[in-house]
Copies of this chain bind each other. A is one copy, B any other.
Amino acid sequence: LSLSQAEIKSLRALTTKKGRRATGQFLAEGVRVLEQALQHDFLPGRLYVSASTVSERGTALAEQFKRRGVPVIPASGSDLARVGDTVTPPGLLGVFQSPPDELAELYGRGPRSMVLCDSIADPGNLGTLIRSAAAFDFDLVVLAGQCAEAFAPKVVRASAGASFAVPIAVAPLAEVLTLIERERVHLVAADPRGEDLPDAIANDADGGVALALGSEAHGLSPALLQRADARVRVRHEARVESLNAAIAGSILMKEWYDVRQRRTP
């Protein structure tokens, strides 16, 4: 059951940005996260399972992956603990091929509803926003500027596997702005000085739409704010200075989702 030192070393390399870049692979662990992968037909190249630590639900999941043709490799709990970065290793570790992240390719022939993350560097916030984007029916997440990596372990964990549920593009801000111009995307910018959302987007856009979210520390890039067709805020009491960035972004997504649902005949 012991993995070779070389195998552990190559798995550990995937916990670093450098290792993920070099190989085009990433890791995901845990039952809930991997269940999402299966649900969205995002199959790992191989799956390590520690029979001594995995739960019954995890064993059943490994069985399903096996039936789908995924090589399942037995491993000891301590070997997996040396690779993963969770306090209590769940005994299930998948090695995945990074999916395409080209903006033009993922936008395709549009129109798309996008969440545009502008330099959201906090992995927890980014993962949570990806989860909310999938929940509230956005069909593309775009990472511009200095965002955390879509498939960094903390982001995948914070997304609870939603990283497998929605396509994620990575592009420089200039490229995003070019696409917005070319495709006439209706750009809605989150901005504390904006309007309440239902009013701000009362006029529906026929083409693609994008909700742009900035980081808590720096807000949105001026180029996005200037280009925006509308600026929206989450109204709240002055008792706090601001909301958490993932909270504010998710509330805007939900409010937009409600607007779109009301319009659907």
Residue of B nearest to A198 (CB): B258
Convert A100-134 into 0s and 1s, putting 1 for each residue whose CB lies closer than 8 angstroms to a CB of B: 00000000000000000000000010001001101
Task: Give the shortest distance, in Å, between A35 (CB) and chain B (any CB).
Answer: 8
- Residue in contact with A242 in the complex, picked from B40, B160, B240, CB distance below 8 Å: B160
A244 to B32, CA, bound (A): 13
Name which of A135, A137, A162, A243 has the most chain B CB atoms within 10 A of its CB: A135
A42 at the interface (CB under 8 A from B): no
List the B side residues contacting A40 at CB < 8 Å.
239
**Taking the full assembly, how many copies of this chain does it contain?**
2
Are B132 and A244 in contact (CB-based, < 8 A)? yes
Residues from chain B with a CB closer than 8 A to the CB of A72 are none
Chain A, 136-168, contact with B by CB distance < 8 Å: what is the 0/1 string? Answer: 110000000000000000000010111001100
Give the distance in Å from the alpha carbon of A242 to the alpha carbon of B165 in the complex: 12
Q: A56: CB under 8 A from chain B?
A: no
A237 to B134, CA, bound (A): 8
Check if B239 sits within 8 Å of A135, measured CB to CB.
yes
Name the one of B158, B165, B234 contacting A254, with C-beta atoms under 8 angstroms. B234
* 6 further interface pairs, Cβ-Cβ under 8 Å (given A135-B240, A244-B246): A131-B243, A134-B239, A135-B237, A135-B239, A135-B243, A162-B240
